[in-house]
Chains A and B, each alone.
Chain A
Amino acid sequence: MLTFEIWSFVSVIVLIATGILTAITGLKRKHSRGAPLVAIAGIITASVFVILTIPDVWGGKILSFQMGGWIAPFGITIVVDMLTLVFSLLIVGIGLFATVFSYKYIKNRRPEFYALICLMMAGLLGIVHTGDLFNLFVFFEISNVSSYALVAYYRKRHAAEASIKFLILGSLATSMILLGITLVYASIGTLNMADLVLKMPLATGFMIPIALVFMLTGFMFKAGIFPFHFWLPDAHPAAPSPISAMLSGVVISTGVYAVLRVGFIVFGALSTMLTILMFFGIASMLIGAVFAILQNDLKRMLAYSSISQVGYIVMSIGLGTSLGLVGGVFHIVNHAIIKSLLFLCAGVIIYHARTSDMAEIGKRIRFGPVLTYAFLIGVLALAGVPFLNGFASKWVIYLSTFEFSVLLTIFTIVISVLTFAYGIRAFYLIFVSGDGAPEHKTPRSMLAPIIILAVICILIGLLPQIGIAVSESMCSGLDPVVYAGAVLG
């Protein structure tokens, strides 16, 4: 009956439907017991669809599907390749963990919360699946608006302030993307990404680089890169912890994904763009690491750490070599897993300690072994200690910077040392120093995602060859010629 070639796009539709269903379960009353279960069922269904597509794209093949039967380039194209699929797995997986975590973490289970999570995931999945610039903009906006509402979920002082600043800056950023899309359309006449690959060399004039600048501004805002990172340290701590895990883990990665797709495929990898990315990446690394050490608040420190790690990723992409690209893409996946692990641990910590000041937490509560080891694994993986997943991707990044300049390698290693420093400082303040009352029992639904994520960190760390092979096939989809050939035939 269904003649979809790509089953994973169905996951987007499933998630939107789940979001609406979840809202229905809260019809007559404000609290709802059924909402999180409906949401979890919907997310599992969506992940089944994503997993079904894995055998089709394994090994670097690119699938494309035209919506509504309109042939390319007139219709909207859905393009799925390995890059898309790994990102979809990240989104669905971390979303599932966040929703399971919030089953016990969020006190009054309002159905809007779960509906918003589902809509945000649907928006993110749409961003990674689309092959059309306008569709990218629409799904971008969907995920951004859901995250504005989710950051303001707790009706507290810092949440309201963070959310309004996030909202105004975010709307400006997506309007920049729209402006860039307009300029592209005005000079070329089509918005399909594969078609733009064919027509971009013919376009002359000054509008194309300006369009690229506008669009990159919008995407770098979402990714949290240097001049546009100011919303991040306010918004990520203000959100509830599972939402912070999704924001820092997956939403930022999707911003980098958009930079990759639009910068590399549509515009070709212009050398000026790569230089800009590298410089902004270096600046983000430095600013993120330095500010993270100065923080006393756990979640704010983790937010600055996200800025620093995204700086790694973008700098590595901006080096221009294929090794740099592989390292950057691999680090996106690793950072998503590590950062979600750390934020979920932070959620458990704050659940028990009722505060997020690190010294206070250390004085109040002594934590059990599971949480201690999980947090330690997260911190060590973030710093790039061998046998954990952070080491594999950071080693590739060191190698690629070594080809460029030795000074850059030394700088990168120094920032890694700083990363280790703030991580271990957090670990020491929370888990080692002081002694307080032993913790109450942590609900299993909150510990299970943490344990699974920590195990994944160790697994990827012990088998880096698989990770690097997957990253290489992800990057093969970023070649414009291959992409256009696969989509347009």
Chain B
Amino acid sequence: MNTIIKTSSRILFPFMLVFGIYLALHGHMGPGGGFPAGVVMATGFILLVIAYKERKIEHSFNEIEFMDIKTIAAFTLMIIIILGVVLRFGLVSTQVPFDPWSGGVTLSSNILGSVVVATAFVVIIYSIIKE
């Protein structure tokens, strides 16, 4: 991959992560939410993996670590949703427009969901590319 792609992907990478976090945090107040945020963050990582040969990337992140993060995040998401249903935190019904702290479980479920999705896609595409 030539220098233009390498340099531009290296510059774009933090912006994509920030955009993904923004989408995750504003999920209940605008378009977005867990899933698109995860996809955007995953695309940031995959852009790096494609631009550089993976031998250089391999020492930067470890595939097993990403799978661990994914399962732990998925499990925490499950626990929080169960607790939310059990203890009757509202999901959407207590929502006040434009107030980021209302909406009960929605905020944490967005963040955790985006982490799950991002790590899952990175693992999948990384293992496909490694073949």
Contact = CB atoms under 8 A, between A and B. Distances in A.
Given A28-B64, A68-B91, A13 B82 contact: yes
A486 interface: no
Nearest to B68: A27
A2 B91 CA distance: 17
A28 B93 CA distance: 40
Given A20-B71, A20-B74, A28-B64, 16 more contacts: A1-B86, A2-B86, A13-B82, A16-B78, A17-B78, A17-B82, A20-B78, A23-B71, A23-B74, A24-B72, A24-B75, A27-B71, A28-B68, A68-B85, A68-B92, A69-B93
Nearest to A2: B86
Interface string A1-35: 11000000000010011001101100110000000
A226 to B, nearest CB: 36
26 contacts: A1-B86, A2-B86, A13-B82, A16-B78, A17-B75, A17-B78, A17-B82, A20-B71, A20-B74, A20-B75, A20-B78, A21-B75, A23-B71, A23-B74, A24-B71, A24-B72, A24-B75, A27-B67, A27-B68, A27-B71, A28-B64, A28-B68, A68-B85, A68-B91, A68-B92, A69-B93
A336 to B, nearest CB: 29
Contacts of B71: 20, 23-24, 27
B9 to A, nearest CB: 30
Nearest to B88: A69
Contacts of B85: 68
Interface string B41-69: 00000000000000000000000100110
A16 B78 CA distance: 8
Contacts of B68: 27-28
Query: Dominant SS at the B interface?
Result: helix
B63 to A, nearest CB: 12
A210 B93 CA distance: 36
A76 to B, nearest CB: 12
Contacts, number: 28
Nearest to A24: B71
Interface residues of A, number: 14
Q: Pick from A20, A24, A68 the residue with the most CB of B within 10 Å.
A: A20
Instruction: Say what secondary structure dominates the interface of chain A.
Output: helix
Nearest to B74: A20
A17 B75 CA distance: 7
A449 B85 CA distance: 36
Interface string B97-117: 000000000000000000000
A27 B72 CA distance: 9
Contacts of B86: 1-2
Question: Which 6 pairs of residues, A with B, have the shortest CB-CB distance?
Answer: A20-B75, A23-B71, A24-B71, A20-B74, A17-B78, A27-B68
Interface of B: 64, 67-68, 71-72, 74-75, 78, 82, 85-86, 91-93
Nearest to A10: B82
Contacts of A23: 71, 74
Contacts of B91: 68
B128 to A, nearest CB: 15
A78 to B, nearest CB: 12
Nearest to A13: B82
A17 to B, nearest CB: 5
A381 B91 CA distance: 50
Nearest to A1: B86
Residue in B71, B78, B85 whose Cβ sees the most chain A Cβ within 10 Å: B71
A70 B90 CA distance: 11
Contacts of A1: 86
A282 B67 CA distance: 48
A31 to B, nearest CB: 14
Nearest to B91: A68
A13 B83 CA distance: 12
Interface-centre pick from B72, B78, B91 (highest chain A CB count, 10 A): B78
Nearest to A27: B68
A2 B86 CA distance: 6
Contacts of A68: 85, 91-93
Contacts of A69: 93
Contacts of B82: 13, 17
A17 B86 CA distance: 15
Nearest to B79: A17
A23 B71 CA distance: 7
Contacts of A20: 71, 74-75, 78
Contacts of B74: 20, 23
A70 B93 CA distance: 9
A16 B85 CA distance: 15
A20 B85 CA distance: 18
Interface in A38-75: 68-70
A475 to B, nearest CB: 32
Contacts of B75: 17, 20-21, 24
A68 B68 CA distance: 31
A68 B78 CA distance: 16
A21 B79 CA distance: 11
A16 B77 CA distance: 12
B50 to A, nearest CB: 25
Contacts of B67: 27
